[in-house]
Amino acid sequence: MSTARITIDRDFTIAEVPRRLFGSFVEHMGRCVYTGIFEPGHPQADSRGFRRDVLELVRELGPTVVRYPGGNFVSGYLWEDGVGPVEKRPRRLDGAWHTVETNAFGLHEFVDWAREADVEIMEAVNLGTRGVEEARALVEYANHPGGTYWSDLRRKNGAEDPFDIKLWCLGNELDGPWQIGGKTAQEYGRLAQETAKAMRFVDPSIELVAVGSSNRQMPTFGTWEHTVLSHAYDEVDYVSMHAYYQEHDGDAASFLAEAVDMDAFIDGVIATIDAVKAAGKHTKQVNISFDEWNVWYQSGLDTEDQPHVITAAGQWREHPRLIEDTYNVTDAVVVGTFLNSLLRHGDRVKIANQAQLVNVIAPIRSEEGGPAWRQSIFWPFARVAQLARGRVLRLAIDSSPVSTKRYGDVDAIDAAATWDEENGTIALFLANRSLEEAGDLTVDLHGLGAASVRSAEVLTVPEGGDRKAANVVDDQDRVGLVPLRDVDIVEGAVRATLPPLSWAVVVLEVARA
């Protein structure tokens, strides 16, 4: 059995928990929108075509902010196509995912859906094939009260009141050669700067996210962020990060340690931001929007569900199945460690969006005309979004190591915690990366009075299953949270045993010392 000791002190904290950290992402890709959140004619659809069964799961999942409409899709998108009478909207070819976009679902529909789901909107503008004027016009359409061309067109289209969208992305992954209208860092930096200025001339209250490198492996990573921010530092509030991970060649140990890479990635972007701040003698602080992250099996699945295979086949279809990954126990534990990494960086990562919400590399799956259900990765996200309140605690962790090929020795127990002083609770988010050994955990509580266990849940390999057990349409509840029995308070400390390959959440009621 491995061992770990975590020390908590109520006075050692990182930051207030950023509520936007628990974001998600809806892109016009595959079946995320069509037959995902929107399916007129479905038995569970409301009068607007929103799937009520999916909405119920979204509310249970608890995302706070949802990024829309892309993603790669936005770099060729004409937002005007998605407003006005549906029967008059044009059908377009979407080059990003090689599909036919019907435009039956657009900005007004998304705003209505977001209100039903009780999420903040994070709107992306097209800086691939379009630019300053189109972005400025979209802000006027969405946020200006009335009396101008674009705001009056919104009112004519049925929305008397402004949408009041505060959070905007200045394009998507524009350093990527796969991106429609890709840019060099110099080109994008100047475009982002001027677009940001024009958008703020319309609505000074908005917040803006500049595009960072598409991933840490990009040859221009670091220099891209530095160049872009050298132009646009004073005009933006955040720079974006994107990262996807998967298990390679059965190397589960390295996969379970991928949060080590996420930690280093975040630290590198922070260093670059702060170097630009110092060199430019800026006074404001630019932070991070980690607006795409998840497990995504990008290799080894050359099926018709993969975008590159569909493109090669020359097929143009409406909402085909694209990257509908089925997530297992191992994936859920990894996602739990990613959430821990984001919490540990809550002083600088202020927004994060798990990609995507439904069907496409998603915590929620649905079938056209059929049911919707929770994937394994649903559970860590839902519990962290629900329970991470107050301040993020700065933990001291002493853990037995796990050996990995990619990252060397890493802590067997990965952890994050939050302290909600108002409600007198501590939430512990714990992952045991060991595939074979249970973890004997002790948590020392300093600066706090008597503690008791309010609740304790764990996600691990189901009885009679293996680490690749998953929830599928015919067995939707195989993987989920069950009570964690081996947890107690012993001489003022928390003592718990974490099963091998598990993610757990323990909520403590504590009295201030």
Question: Tens of pLDDT along 169-213?
Answer: 999 999 999 999 999 999 999 999 999 999 999 999 999 999 999
Catalytic residue among 39, 140, 258, 292: 292
485 or 302, which is more confident:
485
Question: Tens of pLDDT along 105-116?
Answer: 999 999 999 999
Round to whole Å and give the CA distance between 104 and 126.
19
Residue 301 pLDDT greater than 50, yes or no: no
Q: What average pLDDT score do residues 344-349 get?
A: 98
Question: Tens of pLDDT along 356-387?
Answer: 999 999 999 999 999 999 999 999 999 999 99
Element (H, E) at 336: helix 329-344
Of 130-134, 208-212, 234-238, 295-299, the least confident: 295-299
Peptide bond before residue 492 is cis, with ω within 30 degrees of 0: no
Length of the chain: 513
Round to whole Å and give the CA distance between 182 and 187.
9
Q: Tell me if 192 sits within 8 A of 235, measured CB to CB.
A: yes
Q: What is the pLDDT of residue 271?
A: 98
Q: What is the pLDDT of residue 450?
A: 85
- Interacting residues of 486 by C-beta distance below 8 A, sequence separation 6+: 496, 497
- CA dihedral angle for residue 153, residue 118, residue 291, residue 384, rounded to 10 degrees: 180
Average pLDDT, the chain: 96
Question: Tens of pLDDT along 444-453?
Answer: 999 988 899 9
Q: What is the pLDDT of residue 275?
A: 98
The model scores a pTM over 0.85: yes
Question: Tens of pLDDT along 456-486?
Answer: 999 999 998 899 999 999 999 999 999 999 9
Bridge partners (DSSP) listed for residue 167: 122, 207
Sign of the C-alpha dihedral, residues 137, 141, 142, 144? positive
- CA dihedral angle for residue 77, residue 79, residue 83, residue 85, rounded to 10 degrees: -40
Residue 302 pLDDT greater than 60, yes or no: no
Question: Tens of pLDDT along 121-174?
Answer: 999 999 999 999 999 999 999 999 999 999 999 999 999 999 999 999 999 999
Catalytic residue among 27, 109, 123, 173: 173
Q: Measured in whole angstroms, how far is the alpha carbon of residue 317 from the centre of its chain?
A: 27
292 a catalytic residue: yes
Residue 396 pLDDT greater than 70, yes or no: yes
Round to whole Å and give the CA distance between 372 and 374.
7
Round to whole Å and give the CA distance between 215 and 221.
7
Residue 407 pLDDT greater than 70, yes or no: yes
Q: What average pLDDT score do residues 240-269 get?
A: 97
16 a catalytic residue: no
Q: How confident is the model at residue 303 (pLDDT cuts 50, 70, 90)?
A: low
Query: Which domains occur in the chain, in start order?
Result: 2-10+390-512 (2.60.40.1180), 18-387 (3.20.20.80)
313 or 396, which is more confident:
396
Q: Give φ, ψ of 492 to 5 degrees.
A: 85, -5
The burial of 95, by beta-carbon neighbours within 10 Å (0-12 exposed, 13-18 middle, 19 or more buried), is given as middle
Q: What average pLDDT score do residues 491-507 get?
A: 97
Q: What average pLDDT score do residues 40-59 get?
A: 98
Q: What is the pLDDT of residue 315?
A: 76
Q: How confident is the model at residue 314 (pLDDT cuts 50, 70, 90)?
A: low
